[in-house]
Structure 1
């Protein structure tokens, strides 16, 4: 498939994705990933993977921590669905009602493998993002939605977005001097990703 075909496929898939999501009347978005959808989590940790300076954010007048000119694809998705933008998890204070609109756990330099991106300093790994979601689900949301049936319905109506893996190739596979996992990368990442997205008890 040529470059134009890939771009066309991507946008068609995105349109279909949001059409299906729109019909499901999503109430919140929970976002997991890397710099492509990080909306500011890395502003709160010691990392060189930050986007809190110009020219980032130039289209919206202020750098927000998003690695783009203004909004990420998940921001546009939230806007399309009539949802407020989910806040970065690390910006939230304990017990805030802002988590009811969802949470963005994405962190620049994160990958499927825990050692991905360590050369950039701190980052919230994919496993770390999953742990933060578990904390949100088990400790924070029940304070705001005490009825377990209502909480289950809230989660069932929420949209979950995962966009991760590019840093594993860029920072692991393509930099064998920094990461010893490059020779066994493909099998390791596939196995880890399968475990990470499987239902947990």
Structure 2
């Protein structure tokens, strides 16, 4: 009986490899709208008067475009989620989205933002 224990895992592996050929690469959702704070910010704070910015090194040292305003050394969680949804591009920050790009997908997240009105006020504008 024990020599047959490898059969089930092998069948599962082969069946998974077979079904991966039928994966459709189209986006899973029509648009992606992001709200949040510095964990999701992709550059909305770059052009406003605030102390909460991440558009300089060491931020972005592992990101293909360098520092963009993301509060990380590379992609952030919303970038990873967007990629898993099937988007081939990074979701633009609201500060740089022009015209109909806002209808496609946009990131409204801002570092130091919070649910309360006074959130982030000690750093200037958020």
TM-score, with normalisation over the residues of structure 1? 0.46
Aligned residues of 2:97 and 2:106 also touching (Cα < 8 A): no
What is the match of residue 57 of structure 1? Answer: 60
Structure 1 residue 115 corresponds to structure 2 residue 113: no
What is the match of residue 87 of structure 1? Answer: 92
Alpha-carbon distance in 2 for matches of 1:73, 1:101: 19
Spell out, residue by residue over 1:123-160, the C-alpha distance to the aligned partner (whole angstroms, 9 max, x if none): 0xxxxxxxxxxxxxxxxxxxxxxxxxxxxxxxxxxxxx
The structure whose RCO (Cα within 8 Å, separation 6+) is larger is 2
Query: Could you say which structure has the higher helix fraction?
Result: 1
Which aligned runs of 4 or more in structure 1 are off by greater than 6 angstroms? none
Give unpaired runs (5+ residues) of structure 2. Answer: 1-26
Q: Aligned pair count? A: 98
Higher Rg: 2
What is the match of residue 101 of structure 1? Answer: 104
